[in-house]
Structure 1
């Protein structure tokens, strides 16, 4: 395939970000974007050269000129759209998670497998140059056998109540990125999950049946142990750190700042606050993952983050929620969906 025509479903923050990245990629055209509230996006779409806007995403699926789609709509719609798109012969990029139900995710993956199309799940942190360097360092054996994984993932401020209501909760919305990163970096499946969670940031989380602060302990099949701490509010910025400690040493990815300038005076040493949020911190990662998806279609290359990766992260998130609710460690019954 020499050229790729894309449709984007969802014109919210993530959909627009993907569109603005794609328009600069050679041999790729965004033909149509859909959203229930597309009137709010018409001018923006016109400015970046998108030909068609629609409120009906099926206009995209029924268009024979469109080869692939980006699903950037609410998570509750992902599973059904994946199945429809696969049956329509479209390659699929879907933002995380695939769904809030592992059963629905498995159904969607089965349809994708039967249709023979590509499905990439949007765990963008795999494509972050810093985290990928950690992954590569571990895979190359430079720190020996992994013993301990530490991930810190803290948002700069809580999301609004409307978002919390439909987010799926901290485990499926926020920590699921870290669960995927844990599998990716350690190179082993998770066999047990234990969680402690509390509400310390804002009572709205408890009112809506969610938590805002959590600690997850993971036990991997290769014997390593992982610790992940999540908070919905770090007053100093978007806190994203990762360390793998092994038998031969350790490898660490630190936070990013707008600049690396450091000012030293008699009063102290100062540098910029952390990058504020995920669109700043992971700007490059989003671009790289989009290029990877497009390259996999144009040049028939393997995907980095397949459907099974989405399923495994959801299984960990499901176990984390169960552990939080029961106060007990939860053993995972792992399922594999190859080539998805």
Structure 2
């Protein structure tokens, strides 16, 4: 039984706390948060105790930590936990700054401890089935990937201001999913972004509507479409066009009832947001982490994967700002010197 410390008791921390508690091979023993009351409430709900992050990391009886704190704390906590010989699952992104994330990657490499990054969409059943079908050659050679990811409504402006921008906060999931499905990173990133949903988002220096086009060394193309507003629900679709056909992972709907009459065909809307849509993926993600730690096998989403997605987010941010396509190697040059 793995003894787990949870760092962060906000909305996503609450999701992870349930997954930890529900798993037969893990138990939540401690929770920390900058808001002591939030940590105490979540700890009490799961039979754990509220402690500081420092105490949790220093406790030799705790086997692993799950980091669900604000992004600007991730790298420091990853380094501290791995130095204390703990396995880590950290929510995305690794950091808001690529240089800091790469430095963290170097620091962790010397500890030999497993670090998994929380890109839960890799564990979505539909996306996983699509990936397996691509790998097995069911549509021949994949040539064009299309990812649609629309939120039902924008987040609070207070969150937008500290999020690192749409490409680091929202699109980063899609960057990782593209890397996962295509089995490689692109060589060129071109992005456009505007703020058409809420003028306050533009005033905060961010965009709420974006399209990213990525090209690969073998000529393949991936297109990502993002919006902070889809009034009909949480729109999450993936398509892969190959030399022998098309694969589609469609939306998960509120129910599977379809009414067909002379007036038309009506079905339910997509589920409202990520908690409803991706709860099975969060549980599968945690199971994969527990399995890797207990068996000593490699984690399925590595710190290197997290850095790769962050590099693409940096490239997209730069391209959207300048209007010029960006080569991924240009993004990594400054940190290679």
Normalization by structure 2: what TM-score?
Answer: 0.96
**CA shift for structure 1 position 304:** 1.0
Map 1:55-66 onto structure 2 (within 5 A). 56-66=52-62
Corresponding residue number in structure 1 for 2:200: 204
Corresponding residue number in structure 1 for 2:319: 323
Corresponding residue number in structure 1 for 2:66: 70
Which of 40, 49, 53 is the equivalent residue of 2:50? 53
- The answer to whether 1:167 aligns with 2:167 is no
CA distance, structure 2, for counterparts of residue 279 and residue 43 of structure 1: 20
**Runs of at least 5 residues in structure 1 that lack an aligned partner in the other structure:** 336-340
CA distance, structure 2, for counterparts of residue 58 and residue 41 of structure 1: 14
Corresponding residue number in structure 2 for 1:267: 263
What does the per-residue CA deviation read over 1:124-158, in whole Å, with 9 as the maximum and x for residues that have no partner?
A: 00000100111111111111111111110000000
- The answer to whether 1:294 aligns with 2:284 is no
Corresponding residue number in structure 2 for 1:308: 304
**CA shift for structure 1 position 303:** 1.3
**CA shift for structure 1 position 41:** 4.2
How many residue pairs align between the two structures? 331
CA distance, structure 1, for counterparts of residue 247 and residue 218 of structure 2: 18
CA distance, structure 2, for counterparts of residue 157 and residue 220 of structure 1: 32
Preserved contact between residue 188 and residue 222 of structure 1 (Cα < 8 Å): no
Describe the SS at the equivalent of 1:297. Answer: helix
Corresponding residue number in structure 2 for 1:233: 229
Which of 100, 107, 110 is the equivalent residue of 2:103? 107
**Runs of at least 5 residues in structure 2 that lack an aligned partner in the other structure:** 333-337
Map 1:11-90 onto structure 2 (within 5 A). 11-50=9-48, 52-54=49-51, 56-90=52-86
Preserved contact between residue 28 and residue 46 of structure 2 (Cα < 8 Å): no
Corresponding residue number in structure 1 for 2:181: 185
CA distance, structure 2, for counterparts of residue 215 and residue 198 of structure 1: 9
**CA shift for structure 1 position 20:** 0.8
Preserved contact between residue 114 and residue 298 of structure 2 (Cα < 8 Å): no
Preserved contact between residue 100 and residue 172 of structure 1 (Cα < 8 Å): yes
**CA shift for structure 1 position 103:** 1.0
- The answer to whether 1:134 aligns with 2:93 is no
CA distance, structure 2, for counterparts of residue 213 and residue 284 of structure 1: 27
What does the per-residue CA deviation read over 1:212-253, in whole Å, with 9 as the maximum and x for residues that have no partner?
A: 000100001232001111000001100000001011111110
**CA shift for structure 1 position 44:** 3.7
CA distance, structure 1, for counterparts of residue 217 and residue 131 of structure 2: 17
Which of 7, 10, 14 is the equivalent residue of 1:9? 7
CA distance, structure 1, for counterparts of residue 244 and residue 10 of structure 2: 45
Describe the SS at the equivalent of 1:206. Answer: helix
Normalization by structure 1: what TM-score?
Answer: 0.95
Describe the SS at the equivalent of 1:23. Answer: helix
Preserved contact between residue 5 and residue 65 of structure 1 (Cα < 8 Å): yes
Map 1:117-156 onto structure 2 (within 5 A). 117-156=113-152
What does the per-residue CA deviation read over 1:28-49, in whole Å, with 9 as the maximum and x for residues that have no partner?
A: 2211100011213423421221
Corresponding residue number in structure 2 for 1:285: 281
CA distance, structure 2, for counterparts of residue 138 and residue 155 of structure 1: 26
CA distance, structure 2, for counterparts of residue 181 and residue 315 of structure 1: 14
